[in-house]
Amino acid sequence: MHNKILLAAAISWAALPAGAVPFAPTDARAMAMGGTGVASAKTVHAVQFNPALLSSADESDDFGLLFPQMGGYFSDENDFIESADDFVEADFITSFNAAIDNISSPIDNIQTLITTIDSASSGNGNLAALSSATTQLATETTSLVTGSTQLSTATSDLTTGEFGLQSLSGKALRGGLGGGAGVAIPSKKFSFAISANNSTSFAGQLNVATSDLNTINAYPGALAAFAGVTNDYATAAAAVSGILTRIETAQATNDLAAIPGLGGELSTAQADLTTASSALNNFSYGGTSTPDDDSDGDFVIFEGGALASGAQDITLDSTVDIIAIAVTEIAISISREFTFGDRQVAIGITPKLQRIDAYDYTVKVEDETDTGDITDSGVDDTAFNLDIGASTRFGSIEQGTIGIVAKNLIGRDITTVNGRLIEIKPQLRAGVSYQAFGWINLAADLDLMENDPVAFEEPSQYFAAGLEADVFGFMQLRGGFRTNLAASDQEVISLGAGLSPFSLFHTDIGLYTNTSDPKKEVGLVFEFGVDW
């Protein structure tokens, strides 16, 4: 059983971290600034956030190349890893197995003693053999009582204790990986970009079955019931032994008058012993033979007065769920500025070919699994989708930008092999940015609608704010903050830096983590590109 539970944890950790389909998961500059970008993304990064920004670029921006761009995030918001560590460290499974082993020997010995006692108590009986076996039976019964206490404690710790199986159930590990590349030619009259990117989110969750908990919890009750039947048999055997002793005494003292009465008592006691022997030899517990109700599951623990075959190797129904959603896009973005009254407004669109791969794999902790099994659980769908955005500048020298974008305008859904509905819904986000003193960039973004979860995560509606300090056009230092308005305790802070020597190329890195506990969410993004 120890290996089975560890297998469940191992599969969950191997699956590792699924979140909702990210808005733009792999932009290092944006991530370092809290995830902002709808009004602040530059050149080729505009494709991921707001294609209209291609036409809001500076006049000096002629070309942008991004390759590679890659990043990932990890979330253990329910402390599964800590719970699993506590579970393994407590080693409740070893205690449970030891408790089962400790009752196995007395149970086996009782089976041998039943044969001896039944034979020694028949007819006129064999008092010496019966007395010895009855004494040993009392010892084995005491061992059962002691083992029952140990088993009850071990069972409680394993199932419902502070660090037991229930503390692991339903806690998901989530995370994701992403990568992309692109090239852009920005212009106010007509901008063009082509890009390719992939965003993969995935999750693993251990689901401890109620039937497994019921089965494990049934062991103390099963042993108590067996001990009760054994005690009835021991009492009946002691009665036969006592009467035989009295008969032997009467014969030794030549008390012939007492012998007929004792003979009648012996017949009655032997009949009672036969009944107790039959009850013990036929004792079963579990399955359809459970004496109370269905709460103990259908796992047979005792059968024919002994531990059932497999009772020391429990068959578990608990499962591990693994879900992964990969969204791959090949996109062409175009934009230009239009004049509305006295204001220049950039409008951009991104038609894209979008492929969704969804894997929904459930495996029992009893079963072996391999990569091929997970691959076979996948379904995919490829279709056209569309992003559209707008932006405009404001301020005396147009140092500010306001932007809005709608992504994935064509809602899509895909049904997994296990019947789970995965939906790609439109996302709507607005942003504002402002450049102060020529070297400080401020930005803020807000989701204008709540985004539904895809797998085991919370719904999301983000507000983000960020700051960038450009040091002589050579180095950029960044920081930011993001909070989820649709869920609690999901605030993250971010930091990052960039190098852009002589504006020939740029290298950027971004790191973010949950403010209260890094285990809840941590991510890292890196990229390299060229901007001319």
Q: Which domains does the chain have, with CATH numbers?
A: 23-77+179-206+317-531 (2.40.160.60), 83-166+210-307 (no CATH)
pLDDT per residue as tens digits for the range 334-382:
999 999 988 999 999 999 999 999 999 888 876 766 666 777 888 999 9
pLDDT at 345: 95
Nearest to 124 by CA among 329, 304, 294, 269: 269
pLDDT at 482: 96
Across 273-305, b (16+ Cβ under 10 Å) vs e yields beebbebbbebbbbeeebeeeeebbebbbbbeb
Task: Please give the structure tokens belonging to residue 327.
Answer: 């969204």
Dihedral sign, Cα of residue 294, residue 297, residue 299, residue 303? negative
Dihedral sign, Cα of residue 56, residue 57, residue 59, residue 64? negative
Residue 497 has pLDDT above 70, yes or no: yes
pLDDT at 272: 93
Question: From CA 524, how far away is CA 386, in angstroms rounded?
Answer: 28
pLDDT per residue as tens digits for the range 212-221:
888 888 888 8
Higher-pLDDT residue of 61, 382:
382
pLDDT at 25: 53
Question: From CA 430, how far away is CA 194, in angstroms rounded?
Answer: 23
Q: How confident is the model at residue 37 (pLDDT cuts 50, 70, 90)?
A: very high
What is the residue-averaged pLDDT of the chain?
A: 85
pLDDT at 466: 97
pLDDT at 509: 95
Question: From CA 84, how far away is CA 7, in angstroms rounded?
Answer: 12
pLDDT per residue as tens digits for the range 380-408:
999 999 999 999 999 988 899 999 999 99
Question: From CA 411, how far away is CA 392, in angstroms rounded?
Answer: 27
CA atoms within 13 A on the CB side of 271: 6
Strands 522-531, 421-424: parallel, antiparallel or unpaired by DSSP? unpaired
pLDDT per residue as tens digits for the range 283-309:
999 875 444 444 445 688 898 888 888
Q: Using an 8 Å Cβ cutoff, are 259 and 173 in contact? A: no
Higher-pLDDT residue of 337, 489:
337
Max Cα–Cα distance, the chain, nearest Å: 132
pLDDT per residue as tens digits for the range 180-212:
999 999 887 889 999 999 988 888 888 888 888
CA atoms within 13 A on the CB side of 73: 34
pTM of whole model > 0.85? no
Q: Return the minimum-mean-pLDDT range out of 97-111, 137-151, 155-169, 308-322.
A: 308-322
Residue 63 has pLDDT above 90, yes or no: no
pLDDT at 7: 39
Residue 435 has pLDDT above 90, yes or no: yes
Question: From CA 33, how far away is CA 379, in angstroms rounded?
Answer: 35
Q: At what angle do helices 210-252 and 92-120 cross, to 10 degrees?
A: 30
pLDDT at 510: 94
Give the mean pLDDT of 63-87: 85
